[in-house]
Every structure is written in C-alpha cells, then in structure tokens.
Chains A and B, each alone.
Chain A
Amino acid sequence: MNIENVSRRGFLKGVFAASAFVLGAQYVPELLWSKENRDASAAFQPDIFLGIASDGTITIVAHRSEMGCGSRTALPLVVADELDADWSKVKIDQAIGDPKYGEQDTDGSHSVRSFFDQMRHIGATGKAMLISAAANQWSVPEKDCSTDASFVVHKASGRKLSYGELAGFAAKLPVPKKEDVPLKQRSEWRYIGKDNALFDLQDIVTGKATYGMDAKMPGMVYASVEHPPVLGQQVTSYDDKEALKMKGVQKTLTIPIYKMPYQFQPLGGVAVIADNTWAAFQGRTALKIDWDESPNSSYDSVAFRKTLEETSRKPGKVVRNVGDVDAAFAKGGKIMEAEYYAPHLAHASMEPPVAVAEYRDGKVLAWAPTQNPQAVQDTVSSMLGIRKEDVTCHVTLLGGGFGRKSKPDQVAEAAYLSKQLGKPVKVVWSREDDIRFDFFHSVAAMYMKAAIGPNGLPIAWLQRTVYPPINSTFEAGAQYADDEMGLGWNNLPFDILNHRAENGPADAHIRIGWFRSVANIYHAFAIHSFADELANAAGKDSAQYLLDLIGPGRIVPLEYRPDEGEDGKKYPLDTARLRRVVEIAVEKSGWGKKPNGKGHGFGIAAHRSFLTYVATVVEVEVDDHGKVTIPNVWTAVDAGTVVAPDNVRNQFEGASSFAASLALFSEVTVSKGMVNQKNFNNYQVVRMDRAPQRTNVYVVESDAPPAGVGEPGVPPFAPALCNAIYAATGKRVRELPVSKAKLV
C-alpha cells in the first residue's frame, strides 16, 4: 500500500467521488451537529469517515495526525476490523482540519482512547448495511449472511459478493440505528490486538513518505525568519543591503509581533525570501537588526531557579487535601524533607517546524506537519482577518511532534508572507530556530515533606510544586498550573492518612507549552525520588516499599477534577492495576537477585498518566569516571485494550530513550532573556551509544477501555534511573539532568 503523495493530492471532498458507498454524512443522527456536543471532550460529530468504491477500494479517513505514535494506522484499523474489511484494500486518507471531524488535536495520548468506540461503530454500521444489501440481492434473511475479509457470504448456498459489488446497493439503504448495529465480540477481532505494521512503513523506509518538510506548491518561494532573540522584542530598524546581495535572496519582509496573549501567534521578526532554503538561511546571516527592549530581557534561569525554590518552601494553593498533614507534622517524630528541580526542555523533533501556505482571494491553503489542523485554521484566520472556514489545512506526516506541533506559529508565518508576496511560501525553521524559539517544557521546583511512622511508612506527605504554567501561553500573567494538576499531582495513588498537594505561583518569561507527558515528568521525578529516599531511610527494599505506599488494591477517591477530563467511572484510579504493573516489572527484572552497589544498581518507579499504569525498573552502571550506562530497562504497561501491541512496545521502548535524554543530558537555560542552546551540540539528546541498550516491554492483557500509549512511558523513567544511581553509588540525584551531578 502506498499513500498518495500528499503534495499532489486534491481536496478531500474529491476523494470520495469514486466511492459508490459513503458512510458518515448521514450517520449518527442523534449527535448530528448538536451544539451541546460541540466541545473538545464530546468530539463525536462524525461526518465522512468511510467510503467503498465499486472496485472494492475502501477509503478510511484518518482525522488524527501521525507523528510517530501510530494513530493514523490504529484508528482506521479499528474501522476496518469492525467492517470486516481486507486491510490490503484499505486506503487511508488524511483529513484536513475541519470541526466536522470533531476534535483533531493529536495530543494527550488520547486518539485511540477517545475514538475507539466511534471507529468501531462506523465499521460495524458499514458491515451491517453491506450484509443487508447482499441479503436483498439473494432474497435471504440477513441472519444467514456473514462476512469474510471484504466479502458477504451466504454459507448455505455458497454464494458470495464482494464489498465493491455491494457498495452501490448499500448506498441506497437507510442507515440503521446505533443500537441496532452489533459490534464484534473481542474473539472475532481480525486486526485489533494483533501485530500490524504502520500503514506508511514502506513509504518511510523508501524515502517516499511526505512530511511537512517535503510539501511543495507550484511557484512557491522559500522563507526563513529571524525571530526576536527575547520574547516580546520588536524590530526597531533593520538593514538588509548585504542580505539582498546574496545569491538567491529575493527580498525581506517584517512579520508583526503577536497580540497578548500570544497563544500560537508568530513571534514576529524579519523574513528572508529566497529561491531555496539554503539561500534564505544564508540571507539571515547578513541581516543587521536592532531590537527594542522587552520585559523578558532580564530573564535568567539561574536566578529564576532560586525564585521557584523559595516559592516552593511557602504554602501554596491546595489542590488536594486528605486528613491533616499539619497536625501530623506538629506531633514531631521523624520528619523528612527534600527538594527537586528539573529544567526547561526543548522538543527538538527531528523535523523542525515547517509549512507551505498560499493566500489567494481571501482564502488560505496550507500544508503542514501539524498536530492540530483546526488550530491552524484559528491562528491563520485570526492573523489574516479571514474566516476560519476559508483556511484549508492539509496535514502531512510529522517528523516527530511531542507537543511542539500542536502550536502552528510557523504556518501563520507562511500564510502571512504569502499574502504579502502574492505567491505560495514555504517557511523552514532551522534547528537553531526550533530550539531557541520553542514553546518550552517548563522548569519546575518541587518541595516534599513527610512524617514517618513507626513502621517506616509515612503518616503524612506534603508535596508542593512550582513552575510557570502552560496557561501563561493563553492568558497573560497566569501563575497557577491548574490545568497540569491532573498530570500526576492531585492524584497521588499512595495509601497515606494525611496528604496535601499544593501548587505555588510562578511567572513565565518564555513561551511554555506541552511536551511529551508534560508535568508528569517532574511530578513523577519528585514523588518517586522521594519515595525511594523514604524507603532507603527506613532500610527497606525500594520495590516492596513502593507496594506498601500504594497499599491494597482499591479505587482512589479523587475529590478534584477527574484527570484528563474523562469520566471517573470509566477510568477510575485503580491501585490494583498499579500494583500489578509493579509486580510484573519486579518479577521480569529479577529485582533483588543482583546485589546493588559498586557502580551497579536497580531503581524502580510507577506512575499512572494518560490513564495508563506503568512501572519501570532501570538498571544502571556507573563507571569510575561517573559515566552512566543503562544496560536494561523493564517496563510493564497496563493501557487497557490495545489496538496494536507491537506499536505499544515500540512506543515504550522509544519512551525510555526519550526519557533517558531528559534524565541524562537535556537542559535549556536562559540568560538575559535569550535561550543559550542552539543545536544538538549543546542541547544534548541520547544517541545509540548512551540510550538504554535494551528496553523490555510487557503489555498487560486487559479488557478495560483503551488508555494512552504515546506518553505514559516517559514519567517513571527519570526517577527509576536516579533511584538506580543511588543504589549503585549512594549518591542521591535531586535535579535533572544527571550529567550535572558529581557521581564520583
């Protein structure tokens, strides 16, 4: 199967022209366009998702973006399974951004979670109608017909008709009511739960896959933008004489600064327009730009750390309270305190931000590697003063995203420049642009305090977290991280009588955004490092202590907002499932069988995020120079029902490398408002020689509703690693990255 080259593909509405049977537009009437369902969490407003042509080609629309997590394959696979289709006859068509598809922001590890039931139902409805069509043709009862890989079969007479042959007849039938459409039993699933390859696999390995970097429009010019070095700076004057002398450089243009709050708007700056990407990059080196002052020019990440830490030592906003920690602390006894710190991070997707856009006659056509094509519509229409529906955004494959590509500032730059120039423009960010002008993962300081009971377990546990919130991107001056509290902070799954979680205020001076697994990273780092400190202080085995902290299997009552906006009844916080993944990771890793110390150690952490339970054991070796290597990682995962198990393993293998990067090396620092890191020489990520050598992933078989897969592998890794380093060396690492610690 090959996808069409997206850059040559027509508008989506043309795709179904050849289909005799299109399901979707007239379907799911009870939800059709109802206003009360038109919000991000409802997201069930399907329009056209499925078409079958007379030649048997089945077109399934993927409305989620593919950035490496597999959702572009997984959701169509679910449709195909319930349709009982021959997967080799399936063509996947990538949706443009359009509210008619429901929510399209591919983030929060929720593509399968949010759309599994809907996609099953679309496939099942198609199958039911094809069976009706065949039964009519043969004048037999529907119940005597069955399906087999794109055929309807009448076993008694040995007759069969292909889906292609039936498509025209099925199209004339009324769409059955949802409650009249049977879903397959799990045992009947043909593809779900089996090892299926990514739809685009062959295109990827042959270089034919089309990413945003590869999109083209006829007559396009190339642009590269010199952004203000400090957030909020504007151009006071600039000299482009030397730039314009350079070969291939056509002209320069300014891009206006955002209006507060900056949201996803461009940063402003000076764009060099050129014949090719290289010339545009070169032209920038010859620009002389004077920038004005910004209040963010004083931002210094070293000084800011002190501010965060001071705030973390003072009472903050209470986000969860159980019992009375103050009373427990007042009783005296053994008290333990610790502080943890994690720096800003850049996403550094392998494909830097890039987009092609054409403005013509009040409308914009864009091709972009975006996680959120509807945000492209919003951002571009707002900047250009046109209607949202006049922005058409095609979604290419994404060369990584990790949350960065939910923000389409570069697409708005391309659209704006195209309007000025009257021709299509491709904006290409360099790696330096990508790292310096990210929406950064937030720096964070955490303060932890516990009162220890006679059995060595805590009778009181206070945790306080402080960082500039993501909401600062959307609301000028926002200081509290209300939206991040569900990300591993207001839902501690430990069985402790007295517990309080707090959040202190912090101001943002650079753009803050979502980063793969988001606040779970530093929250899990603090919680599980502290748990390990308590275990060691009590002289207990870290894994057993973790199980004791989790306590017996139970549903943890969460008085505050259910995490992830999901119904707490559908996805309760179940400590029995958390215990199970811990027990699996312990067993598979041979925990306790090899002695710790002398530069070798095991560490463990378990964290539920995006409704998935994960336990990770990391084995480390620390040599005489303090160099850390990771021979093995064991990760046990309970993500509920799993569509593509091998992809789940791949995601968790990858998560251990992604997390090893941030645990060992990665750090963004800021001086005088400017980001100091620029490329992979000073923003370090793991390479093959420093990545975990082997990550062993164990996926729990479960009938529970599907949960997240792309992100949950990341959070438990850093604490498990640091706990292993402690076991190996006796050195406690309380700040990331580990590369800053003196281990010998």
Chain B
Amino acid sequence: MIQFKLNGAERTYDGDPDMPLLWYLRDVAGFTGTKFGCGMSLCGACTVHQNGDAVRSCSVSMKEVNGTSITTIEGISANGLHPVQKAWMEIKVPQCGYCQVGQIMQAIALLNQKHNPTDRDIDTAMSGNICRCGTYQRIRAAIHQAAKELA
C-alpha cells in the first residue's frame, strides 16, 4: 500500500506501483489540471511539486511517491490565486494555455528557491518547459513581476 499526501490530504494507492504519478493524478484521482505532453520529461507540461521540488509527474512512479507530499495546481493556493497565477493573469501570458499549469508550477518552485531571479536564472530553470505557442517572453516577465510581489 502506497501512502502519500496529495494537496495536503492523506491518500493511499494499491494499484500498479509503476504507474506514473501523472496518470494517477489524471485518470485515477481526477486532478486534470496537470497535463500530459510527452511522457519522457521533455516538455514540462506535467510538472508538479514533490516535497516542494518541481518534478515531471510523467516520470515519477507511484512507488516513488510513497511517503512524499505532492502538490498540484489544484492545491497551490488555499486562498484565492497564488501571486504567480496573478502575475500570469496581469501579464496575460497564455495563448492556448495547455502548458501553462506546468510553467506556473515550475515558476513557483524557482521562486521558492531564488527570490529575485535574473533572466539567466529564469531561462535555466524554465527551459525544460516547452510552450509551443511561444509565450516565453511573457512567462519571463510574469516571473519577474511575481518575484516583486512576493518580496
């Protein structure tokens, strides 16, 4: 029996231990905010937090989830919008929006580690996340704006 926390709530799981967290979240638990993009940790669309670190949920198996704490977009902010989400709205980042949850989760993890990231810090941290619509410069601007808000 696998035991872990999902958005603060205790959970158990006794299915295929090799199932990636992504498909547990989407098909078993019904948390569809986390997206499928590539299945190989190449695009970042499925980014969630495991013990506060950004991970690609397509490449984390349920047995690796055992004993850890997982946060998804649905659990990122108990009260209203997270400052990163607010910045995303103010800068009007999204086009199709499909990758943006993964981008936001990656950005939150970055800002937790670096409170005032440079452009280079942002490019390094965010280059695992593909946006096919190409909203990169707005993502960078929104991270700077969120950093100011969080300071």
Measuring CB to CB, which residues of chain A are less than 8 angstroms from any residue of chain B?
Answer: 66-70, 195, 197-198, 200-202, 204-211, 213-214, 222, 247-248, 276-279, 281, 348-352, 397-402, 428, 430-431, 646-647, 650-651, 653-658, 660-661, 679-681, 685-689, 691-695
Question: Given A201-B92, A431-B37, A654-B133, do A211 and B27 touch, yes or no (CB 8 Å)?
Answer: no
Cβ contact within 8 Å between A400 and B127: no
Cβ contact within 8 Å between B81 and A67: no
Cβ contact within 8 Å between B96 and A68: yes
Cβ contact within 8 Å between A205 and B36: no
Cβ contact within 8 Å between B96 and A350: yes
Would you call B16 an interface residue if the criterion is a C-beta within 8 Å of the partner chain's C-beta atoms?
A: yes
What distance in Å separates the Cβ of B124 from its nearest Cβ neighbour in chain A?
7
**In the complex, per-residue mask of B3-22: 1 if CB is within 8 Å of any chain A CB, else 0:** 00000000000011001100
Question: Given A204-B97, A277-B26, do A350 and B37 touch, yes or no (CB 8 Å)?
Answer: yes
Question: Given A205-B94, A208-B33, A681-B42, do A688 and B132 touch, yes or no (CB 8 Å)?
Answer: no
What distance in Å separates the Cβ of A200 from its nearest Cβ neighbour in chain B?
7
Cβ contact within 8 Å between B92 and A197: yes
Cβ contact within 8 Å between B101 and A348: no
What distance in Å separates the Cβ of B120 from its nearest Cβ neighbour in chain A?
9
Cβ contact within 8 Å between A688 and B43: no
What distance in Å separates the Cβ of A697 from its nearest Cβ neighbour in chain B?
10
Would you call B139 an interface residue if the criterion is a C-beta within 8 Å of the partner chain's C-beta atoms?
A: yes
Question: Given A277-B27, A350-B98, A397-B96, do A207 and B73 touch, yes or no (CB 8 Å)?
Answer: yes
- Residues of chain A within 8 A of B34, CB atoms compared: 207
Interface residues in B19-41 (C-beta closer than 8 Å to A): 19-20, 23, 26-28, 32-40
Question: Given A350-B43, A351-B35, do A658 and B104 touch, yes or no (CB 8 Å)?
Answer: no
Q: What are 17 of the A-B contact pairs (CB < 8 Å)?
A: A201-B89, A202-B81, A204-B97, A205-B94, A276-B27, A349-B132, A350-B132, A351-B37, A352-B36, A431-B43, A647-B92, A654-B133, A655-B134, A658-B133, A680-B43, A687-B136, A692-B137
Question: Given A206-B81, A213-B35, A350-B35, do A688 and B136 touch, yes or no (CB 8 Å)?
Answer: yes
Cβ contact within 8 Å between B100 and A205: yes
Cβ contact within 8 Å between B36 and A197: no
Cβ contact within 8 Å between A653 and B137: yes
Would you call B117 an interface residue if the criterion is a C-beta within 8 Å of the partner chain's C-beta atoms?
A: no
User: Which A residue sits closest to B33, measured CB to CB?
Assistant: A207
Cβ contact within 8 Å between A695 and B27: no
Give Cα distance in the complex from A679 to B59, angstroms: 15
Question: Given A222-B27, A277-B36, do A653 and B92 touch, yes or no (CB 8 Å)?
Answer: no
Cβ contact within 8 Å between B38 and A650: no
Give Cα distance in the complex from A681 to B32, angstroms: 25
User: Which A residue sits closest to B80, measured CB to CB?
Assistant: A206
- Residues of chain B within 8 A of A661, CB atoms compared: 134
Within 8 Å by CB of A211, from B35, B73, B134, B135, lies B35
- Residues of chain B within 8 A of A208, CB atoms compared: 33
Within 8 Å by CB of B127, from A195, A209, A687, lies A687
Cβ contact within 8 Å between B38 and A431: yes
**In the complex, per-residue mask of B118-147: 1 if CB is within 8 Å of any chain A CB, else 0:** 010011101111111111111110000000
Cβ contact within 8 Å between A205 and B85: yes
Cβ contact within 8 Å between A350 and B27: no
User: Which A residue sits closest to B35, measured CB to CB?
Assistant: A213
Cβ contact within 8 Å between A650 and B88: no
- Residues of chain B within 8 A of A206, CB atoms compared: 33, 73, 81, 85
Give Cα distance in the complex from A211 to B32, angstroms: 9
- Residues of chain A within 8 A of B128, CB atoms compared: 687
- Residues of chain A within 8 A of B127, CB atoms compared: 687-689
Would you call B113 an interface residue if the criterion is a C-beta within 8 Å of the partner chain's C-beta atoms?
A: no
- Residues of chain B within 8 A of A198, CB atoms compared: 92, 94, 97
User: Which A residue sits closest to B45, measured CB to CB?
Assistant: A350
User: Which A residue sits closest to B77, measured CB to CB?
Assistant: A206
Within 8 Å by CB of A688, from B36, B42, B98, B126, lies B126
- Residues of chain B within 8 A of A276, CB atoms compared: 19, 23, 27-28
Cβ contact within 8 Å between A685 and B139: no
Question: Given A207-B34, A655-B134, A657-B134, do A688 and B27 touch, yes or no (CB 8 Å)?
Answer: no
What distance in Å separates the Cβ of A554 from its nearest Cβ neighbour in chain B?
34
Cβ contact within 8 Å between B39 and A205: no
User: Which A residue sits closest to B34, measured CB to CB?
Assistant: A207
What distance in Å separates the Cβ of B40 from its nearest Cβ neighbour in chain A?
6
Max count, chain A CB within 10 A of own CB: residue among B36, B72, B96, B131: B96
Within 8 Å by CB of A685, from B19, B40, B94, B132, lies B132
- Residues of chain B within 8 A of A680, CB atoms compared: 38, 40, 42-43, 130
- Residues of chain A within 8 A of B130, CB atoms compared: 350, 680, 685, 687
Max count, chain A CB within 10 A of own CB: residue among B15, B38, B138: B38
Cβ contact within 8 Å between B42 and A398: no
Cβ contact within 8 Å between B33 and A650: no
Cβ contact within 8 Å between A679 and B38: yes
Would you call B74 an interface residue if the criterion is a C-beta within 8 Å of the partner chain's C-beta atoms?
A: yes
Question: Given A209-B97, A693-B137, do A400 and B132 touch, yes or no (CB 8 Å)?
Answer: yes
- Residues of chain A within 8 A of B70, CB atoms compared: none
Max count, chain B CB within 10 A of own CB: residue among A200, A204, A207: A207
- Residues of chain A within 8 A of B129, CB atoms compared: 687-688
Give Cα distance in the complex from A197 to B127, angstroms: 26
Would you call B95 an interface residue if the criterion is a C-beta within 8 Å of the partner chain's C-beta atoms?
A: yes
Give Cα distance in the complex from A348 to B122, angstroms: 24
Would you call B55 an interface residue if the criterion is a C-beta within 8 Å of the partner chain's C-beta atoms?
A: no
Cβ contact within 8 Å between A207 and B132: no
Give Cα distance in the complex from A200 to B129, angstroms: 21
Cβ contact within 8 Å between B138 and A653: yes
